[in-house]
Amino acid sequence: MKTSLKTRLLTIRSNVFSYLFITREFLLDCLRYLRHARTFTSDPGNRKSLEATIIAHYHVLEKGLSMPNPSPGHSLDTARSLAALLKRWAAQGNQPSSQVDFAHGVLSAFTEFQHNHGVDVADLRTALAALHASAVASGENVYQLKQNAALKHNWTSFADFAMSRHSVRVYRPEAISDDDFEAAVRAAQHTPSVCNRQAFYVKRLIDAEQIRGALSYQNGNRGFGHQVPTLFVMGADIRAFGGRVERKQPLVDGALFAMSFIYALHGRDIGSCPLNWCVSHDNDRKLKQLLNIPDYIEIVMLLAAGYPDPAGKSPASNRHEIAEVIR
């Protein structure tokens, strides 16, 4: 059937409008991000940014300490930056923060570790003493890593289950079995999704060389990436979405699915660690080329996984006070 000129013109008009509307929405996302995120400055201006920067710094230190053989001398620059950030926190007279208290504990444990391994950390010890004197932290926080063996659990409630999960980075060498993989996917498929569209995507890698290749584009696996026995690519299929206002939905549905999958693995005593996919389009394209993943897949994260090595340790990853979240 021939479409009339008028119908065709109306369709073109609607498409042009959609194109401009969606472009504007993406642009507004971009501008809001630029307004609030720390993009052009490494200077954490407000309390929230400063605290988040402190957390990110201490996380590097506790992650380093949790590695199978932490190397003496690692992350000293990060530790010195953390000491400077804590000093700044004190100078600003900020309200007490359990995270800052915790950071102090991690920095003390880190400094102790380096000192015990013959590394000269006199400056850090002096900084810690000064911080203690300025009461930036109570000094009561004695830092302790978590033990992988504690993963095995008898859960009596969802709260028990959720609170017993933690990211595992030290695994036994064998890859996750087909049965475990499929069972975890089946459970995770019960994740809610917009209109039940189920755009979920997961790809499993068990070939060591392929895993190494994929991880070469990811920036958060230093110290343990070379021993990851199974790597998942978690995402969503953009083709399931459309219209003018669904631009964030692939990320939302993909991330919900990833979380369910992490819990499903945890329910089978399988450890996992999400790996950020904060990459440029260039690296996203390179990974997709390497793994033969179509362009229409929105990758939300990589997920390292394996059966936990009971001797392995994990960062304690302390949580905010609940009042920081309920606002």
Ligand X SMILES: Cc1cc2nc3c(=O)[nH]c(=O)nc-3n(C[C@H](O)[C@H](O)[C@H](O)COP(=O)(O)O)c2cc1C
Binding site for ligand X (CB under 6 A): 59, 63, 166-167, 220, 273-276, 301, 314, 317
Least Å from the CB of residue 167 to ligand X: 4
For 238, which DSSP code?
G
Q: Which residue is nearest to ligand X (CB)?
A: 220
Least Å from the CB of residue 54 to ligand X: 14
Least Å from the CB of residue 224 to ligand X: 7
Least Å from the CB of residue 316 to ligand X: 8
Q: What is the DSSP string of 140-179?
A: -----PEEGGGG----SSHHHHHHH------B-SSPPPHH
Q: Which is nearer to ligand X, 121 or 201 (CB)?
A: 201
Residue 77's CB is within 10 A of a number of other CB atoms, namely: 9
Least Å from the CB of residue 125 to ligand X: 26
Q: Which is nearer to ligand X, 99 or 121 (CB)?
A: 99
Residues paired with 234 in a beta bridge: 202, 301
DSSP-based three-state secondary structure for 272: strand
Least Å from the CB of residue 120 to ligand X: 28
For 53, which DSSP code?
H
Residues paired with 204 in a beta bridge: 232
DSSP-based three-state secondary structure for 316: coil
Least Å from the CB of residue 193 to ligand X: 18
Q: Which amino acid is at 249?
A: Q
Residues paired with 302 in a beta bridge: 233, 275
Distances from the Cα of 252 to the Cαs of 50, 127, 162, 241, 257, in angstroms? 27, 42, 20, 12, 9
- Note whether 233 and 302 are within 8 A (CB): yes
- Note whether 222 and 66 are within 8 A (CB): no
Q: Which residues, at least 6 apart from 265, have a Cβ–Cβ distance to it below 8 Å?
A: 176, 180, 184, 271, 272, 305
Q: Which is nearer to ligand X, 25 or 284 (CB)?
A: 284
Q: Which is nearer to ligand X, 111 or 167 (CB)?
A: 167
Q: Which is nearer to ligand X, 64 or 121 (CB)?
A: 64
Q: Which is nearer to ligand X, 57 or 63 (CB)?
A: 63
Beta-strand pair 230-237/271-276:
unpaired
- Note whether 255 and 137 are within 8 A (CB): no
Least Å from the CB of residue 118 to ligand X: 27
Helix (H) or strand (E) holding 80: helix 76-91
